[in-house]
Chains A and B, each alone.
Chain A
């Protein structure tokens, strides 16, 4: 169990969480790992919570990550990164987009959105690196690049080289033209750099 790598990718239906996890799975398969990927997202298409579990290693049995066993938490949205903190193992790390997506129940005044999810996560003592993936994507010209920015962000926190993951990302866009491949290459690099810069600043 312990030799498996456990990656939890979280966000909201429609953000591309499941696609991102699928690309991570492809990278693990390319390296010859056994892989299982699971999520409960039956109604997530309707703006609900999505959490996608990826486990890889020599042999994976149970597909879902046990609470307290995730090595890396990749959060596509600030509050969602907070929601799943209990899933991290001691010493695990959160890589999170600081962008906030406020649900209708908060707009209706029934609940509050936390003032600052990053601070709340820091209070737990868990390691966390935060960056604005949505702004990075918009600066590159399309919010949909956010998914690749997030994959770039996790690239240096995997038990394999960032290039393997980058290859899997770019393979997805190979048929769609060099321009798109290049944009995604830049998005991946920008996500990687954002995490690198934040970690350097904290060190």
Chain B
């Protein structure tokens, strides 16, 4: 991750929303920043970690990261915490009482909503948390605003002693635009002041803070009415006026440059008077918000006539090609003619596991074992649900593989009585929220076989470090969890704990088959690193001897993207059955010699590659 720090003040820099927030966090004099990786939020903390004057950490989960930030803010220092939308579900327990205590040092929580589901298990609207927790929400519309609003958020946070949510979406986090940056200003810490009535939330204490919280909402609403983050652009075409926030504002401006717009940058609590002001200017008001009708519902309850989700979708981005036709229909006009033809029919290209990924061995094996119900989890290994393995049956939330497996076990009916229940979870997900689930399985005597895929990285988000690999956010040595000892400490019997190499298919197969038969909880730990991190070492590439390949296709079932079909055929077996043949080659330039395809190859047609005329590789060429 490139350090943004050397960029001098007043420079205009091409930055993603994530990079822009990170820069502003540094400039705001933040002392502590914590997060758990999650697309599309991850790069915020990756960039922050390059600033030596900020303490930064990968926390084990989002709740802990928020608690670390809260502690720093209680100590009177500025603090930052970021997460993807589902992370706030985990962290919300802390948030919902944090709103009662408030903060001393500024605390900004950046939440990245994956509008459009680029890499998430659901699509949620984090603006709800502002209403639920009665804290302010700022919504940037591009990188420049993400930068500026982060600085604004710290001022607001300290003025009202309240945590501020910076609500982002994928189309802010991952879009690059030009940002004019400034300098860091140091902030002295106020220091922790003992005040049990404020910091120790008991029923009595909390009861006294609730009226203060509601009074704060009133004050914040007054602030939102006068905030320069909420402004009206009068426009000339008064038939429809828009109330918009976040990326939707840009889409409105792109689609209807002449229409009046109330841009909401400080969108919670809502500035009702500003909304009335816009409504008085135009024939009708359309609220354009991604994704839930929050502003719309509040305005309707306030008696302000608006249109919203009755004409706009409740899912996904409200891009110009969605907005244009909807507004045309509202005005009784002909929809703007689409200039494009429909997409041409073509095969899909879903994400795949990497060449030589250690998960390939696991899923190849699982696809060969019958009678399993496989409770899955969040990570690269969720791809095991896809082809060719089809070896993952559930996936809902971080760590859920454990509890769901136990529920599948305890809730099994007659139809499932012979089914073996297996749970698959990665190292980082296990430490995030899986440990408690495993403890629950042990404590409640569940019969589940747990496959703990330890690849020493948070793989899906780019291979971040975690307590399982012995490196901190800077790559420096850190205490490393011993998974075998950990699960033993949770109560798994030592004879039911196995650490296996996922590239040794016969051992893996035998271990899984034996452990699923055991009438108690077992844990099988795989111990090979993610191929994208520095712990992975390439081995000599393989190739297929064409004459020896019988077209059986066993190697294809491994699912490695380096294996390609050269020709197909058919063969009639002795029993009269016709079988399809697929003859293969290995793309040796990407093969790293994991040998997973070699093991199921019956005719021994896969051998180490011997280059005939070595291609000269240019060292250091990164294009």
Check if A156 is an interface residue, CB within 8 A of chain B: no
Contact flag A61-B254 (CB < 8 Å), given A36-B177, A85-B343, A109-B582: yes
Q: How large is the interface on A (under 10, 10 to 19, 20 to 34, 35 or more residues)?
A: 35 or more
Check if B182 is an interface residue, CB within 8 A of chain A: no
Contact flag A49-B344 (CB < 8 Å), given A143-B589, A144-B623: no
Contacts of B352 in A (CB 8 A): 46-48, 103-104
Check if A177 is an interface residue, CB within 8 A of chain B: yes
Check if B319 is an interface residue, CB within 8 A of chain A: yes
Contact call B14/A68, Cβ cutoff below 8 A: no
**Residue of A whose beta carbon sits closest to that of B584:** A107
In the assembled complex, the Cα of A48 lies from the Cα of B120 at a distance in Å of 15
Across the interface, A25 reaches (CB within 8 A) one of B14, B346, B616, B621, namely B14
**Residue of B whose beta carbon sits closest to that of A90:** B339
Contact flag A184-B623 (CB < 8 Å), given A67-B338, A109-B568: yes
Contacts of A29 in B (CB 8 A): 12, 14, 178
1/0 contact string of A115-149 vs chain B (CB within 8 Å): 00000100010000000000000100111111110
Across the interface, B561 reaches (CB within 8 A) one of A22, A47, A86, namely A47
Across the interface, B341 reaches (CB within 8 A) one of A86, A120, A145, namely A86
1/0 contact string of A16-45 vs chain B (CB within 8 Å): 100100100110010000111111111111
Contact call A109/B387, Cβ cutoff below 8 A: no
Contacts of B343 in A (CB 8 A): 83-86
1/0 contact string of A56-94 vs chain B (CB within 8 Å): 000011111011110000000001101111111110000
Check if A174 is an interface residue, CB within 8 A of chain B: no
In the assembled complex, the Cα of A105 lies from the Cα of B40 at a distance in Å of 27
Across the interface, A83 reaches (CB within 8 A) one of B14, B342, B344, namely B344
Contact flag A180-B349 (CB < 8 Å), given A46-B354, A86-B340: no
Contact call A68/B338, Cβ cutoff below 8 A: yes
Max chain B C-beta neighbours (<10 A), residue from A106, A107, A183: A107
Q: How far is the CB of A33 from chain B (nearest CB, A)?
A: 9
Contact call B561/A79, Cβ cutoff below 8 A: no
Contact flag A107-B556 (CB < 8 Å), given A61-B254, A68-B339: yes
Q: How far is the CB of A124 from chain B (nearest CB, A)?
A: 7
Contacts of A66 in B (CB 8 A): 319-321
Check if A102 is an interface residue, CB within 8 A of chain B: yes
Check if A114 is an interface residue, CB within 8 A of chain B: yes
**Residue of B whose beta carbon sits closest to that of A50:** B349
Q: B26-34, B153-161, B168-176, B467-475: which lies at the A interface?
A: B168-176
In the assembled complex, the Cα of A202 lies from the Cα of B341 at a distance in Å of 25
Across the interface, A37 reaches (CB within 8 A) one of B14, B350, B354, B620, namely B14
Contacts of A69 in B (CB 8 A): 339-340
In the assembled complex, the Cα of A46 lies from the Cα of B350 at a distance in Å of 8
In the assembled complex, the Cα of A109 lies from the Cα of B142 at a distance in Å of 43
Check if B110 is an interface residue, CB within 8 A of chain A: no
Contact call B622/A144, Cβ cutoff below 8 A: yes
Contact flag A47-B341 (CB < 8 Å), given A26-B14, A34-B178, A104-B387: no
Contact call B346/A142, Cβ cutoff below 8 A: no
Across the interface, A86 reaches (CB within 8 A) one of B114, B342, B460, B560, namely B342
Check if B253 is an interface residue, CB within 8 A of chain A: yes
Check if A194 is an interface residue, CB within 8 A of chain B: no
Contacts of A142 in B (CB 8 A): 616-618, 621, 623
Contact flag A102-B623 (CB < 8 Å), given A25-B176, A26-B14, A38-B174: no
Contact call B623/A19, Cβ cutoff below 8 A: yes
Contact call B341/A146, Cβ cutoff below 8 A: no
Check if A200 is an interface residue, CB within 8 A of chain B: no
Check if B565 is an interface residue, CB within 8 A of chain A: yes
Contacts of A147 in B (CB 8 A): 623
Contact call A87/B39, Cβ cutoff below 8 A: no
Contact call A63/B347, Cβ cutoff below 8 A: no
Check if B612 is an interface residue, CB within 8 A of chain A: no
Contact flag A108-B341 (CB < 8 Å), given A61-B250, A145-B621: no
Across the interface, B388 reaches (CB within 8 A) one of A44, A108, A141, namely A108
Contacts of B349 in A (CB 8 A): 12, 47-49, 79-80, 103, 105
Contact call B564/A39, Cβ cutoff below 8 A: no
Contact call A67/B321, Cβ cutoff below 8 A: yes
Q: How far is the CB of A172 from chain B (nearest CB, A)?
A: 9
Max chain B C-beta neighbours (<10 A), residue from A46, A90, A108: A46
Check if B315 is an interface residue, CB within 8 A of chain A: no
Contact call B623/A145, Cβ cutoff below 8 A: yes
Contact call B351/A44, Cβ cutoff below 8 A: yes
Max chain A C-beta neighbours (<10 A), residue from B176, B319, B620: B176
Contact call B174/A40, Cβ cutoff below 8 A: yes
Contacts of B582 in A (CB 8 A): 107, 109
**Residue of B whose beta carbon sits closest to that of A187:** B623
**Residue of B whose beta carbon sits closest to that of A84:** B343
Check if B571 is an interface residue, CB within 8 A of chain A: no
Across the interface, A36 reaches (CB within 8 A) one of B175, B564, B589, namely B175
Contacts of A60 in B (CB 8 A): 177
The chain B residues found within 8 Å of chain A, CB to CB, are 12, 14, 39-40, 114, 116, 118-120, 142, 170-171, 174-178, 247, 250-251, 253-254, 319-321, 338-344, 346-354, 380, 383, 387-388, 460, 462, 532, 556, 559-561, 563-565, 568, 580, 582, 584, 589, 615-618, 620-623
Can you list 27 A-B pairs, Cβ within 8 angstroms, ordered by A?
Answer: A1-B254, A12-B349, A29-B178, A38-B174, A41-B118, A42-B119, A43-B460, A47-B561, A48-B349, A63-B177, A64-B171, A64-B319, A66-B320, A82-B346, A84-B343, A86-B341, A88-B340, A102-B564, A105-B347, A108-B388, A124-B344, A138-B615, A141-B616, A144-B621, A144-B622, A146-B623, A183-B618
